[in-house]
Amino acid sequence: ETKRMLVDNNLNSEKSYTQAVDLLNNGEVVAFPTETVYGLGAIATNERGVKKIFEAKGRPSDNPLIVHIGTIEEVANYIEEIPENAVKLMDAFWPGPLTVIMRAKKGLLAPSVTAGLQTVGIRMPDHPVALQLLRKLKKPVAAPSANRSGKPSPTKAVHVEEDMLGRIPLILDGGATGIGIESTVLDVTVNPPVILRPGGVTKEMLEEVIGEVIQPTKSQQALESTPKAPGMKYTHYAPNAPVQLIDSNQAVVRDAISKLKNEGEKIALLAPISFENLGADYFFPYGDEGDKEMMSIKLYDDLRACDKTDATMILATATSTDGVGAAIMNRLEKAAGGRWYNE
């Protein structure tokens, strides 16, 4: 009984918004598009609704949710003291793919939203459907990505349907999302601020506005006993077949494919378009070599498409960690569980 409703600019879309608002006000969950990925939302002050998000996703309860708002003014309702850095960042990047972690006022948000932490992540999404929904609802919406826990995040309404059919009452279908990977999560409760999850707003972009920002390296993250973004410790973004990262080098990839096929593997290859004739059973081109925007748009869709094949192994070529590359490599490393191909 999951309904999927197209929301475009015709009159009927008004009805879809009204339904979504009514469901949310009744403590139900609704999936909606943002500029990054689809979110699974409930009113952030309604514990009953928020609990349903965790149930529908199969998400561990120690993993906090991002709160989405429709206007910058609302931040003051939930945050004790808004750091000066945060004000500058909200002005510069909102609406947009930046989640700002700040100290939360006590007792206002549903307890499950913050999962026992004293902080909360807030962002204003840059998508007409998300913004309309928030502005009609006039309440904050807690929303993680609308995938089942562990799966690649949904960048299309059909992905949400694949994961959530029968589990949620409504999906607002706003087409494919524009960025394709989740927001940057930045902790501004410390100085200098720390990137907990890289995303579309890069370290370089942040530093232009507030000066030094820390982006922990993989080895620094490995040293932390408790990850600062609880979600980053879990398996994530993973299709059914195992993923291995591989150097973006045609000779290396060709050899790997032939070797693995000899061992009986069926190979799906995610790589730049120029890698098309290297013998893979299934090929999912990222786009032109170095086109990171295209790569981030396609990544989750391609990982999900691998599940529709009989591939037994997925090879994904790596990219540099400049700019959005940091976010792409972060997601690929998680999808691969850190595994790299070696002969």
Q: Which residues contribute to the site for ligand TXA (CB under 6 A)?
A: 34, 36-37, 39, 63-66, 97, 99, 101, 114, 117, 119-121, 125, 143-145, 182-183, 185, 196-197, 228-232
299 closest CA partner among 259, 261, 337, 327: 327
Query: Cα angle at 161 between 145 and 45, to 5 degrees?
Result: 40
Closest-approach residue to Mg ion (CB)? 145
Residue 182 beta carbon to ligand TXA: minimum distance, rounded to whole angstroms: 4
C-beta closer to ligand TXA: residue 161 or 182 = 182
- Looking at the Cβ atoms of 41 and 272, the one nearer to ligand TXA is 41
| Binding site residue list for L-threonine | 36, 68, 123, 183
Using the minimum distance from each CB to ligand TXA, give the nearer residue, 67 or 280. 67
Q: What do you get for the CA distance between the two ends of the chain, in Å?
A: 48
> CA–CA separation, 290 vs 295, rounded Å?
8
- Tokens 């700002």 belong to 100
Query: In this complex, which beta carbon is closest to ligand TXA, that of residue 230 or of residue 285?
Result: 230
- Distance of alpha carbon 252 from alpha carbon 245, whole angstroms: 12
Between CA 200 and CA 96 the distance in angstroms is: 9
Angle formed at CA 168 by CA 153 and CA 162, multiple of 5 degrees: 45
Task: Give 46 or 99: the residue with its C-beta nearer to ligand TXA.
Answer: 99
Select from ligand TXA, Mg ion, none the partner in contact with residue 156, using the beta carbon and a kind-dependent cut-off of 5 to 8 Å: none
Binding residues for ATP: 59, 63, 119, 143, 145, 153, 197, 237
- In this complex, which beta carbon is closest to ligand TXA, that of residue 178 or of residue 290? 178
Q: Please report how close the Cβ of residue 120 comes to ligand TXA at its closest, in angstroms.
A: 5
Give the span between the Cα atoms of 184 and 100, in whole angstroms: 8
Measured between alpha carbons, how far is residue 27 from residues 53, 114, 141 in Å? 10, 18, 11
Minimum distance of Mg ion from residue 185's CB (angstroms): 11
Residues that bind Mg ion (CB under 5 A): 145
Q: What values do phi and psi take at 39, rounded to 5?
A: -110, 155
Numbered residues of the known binding site: 36, 59, 63, 68, 119, 123, 143, 145, 153, 183, 197, 237
- Residue 196's binding partner among ligand TXA, Mg ion, none (Cβ under 5 to 8 angstroms by kind) is ligand TXA
Using CB distances below 5 to 8 A depending on partner kind, what does residue 64 bind out of Mg ion, ligand TXA, none?
A: ligand TXA
- Rounded to a whole number of angstroms, the minimum distance from the CB of residue 180 to Mg ion is 13
The strand ranges marked E within the chain are 3-6, 30-33, 38-43, 66-68, 98-103, 119-123, 141-142, 170-173, 184-187, 194-197, 243-246, 267-271, 282-285, 313-317
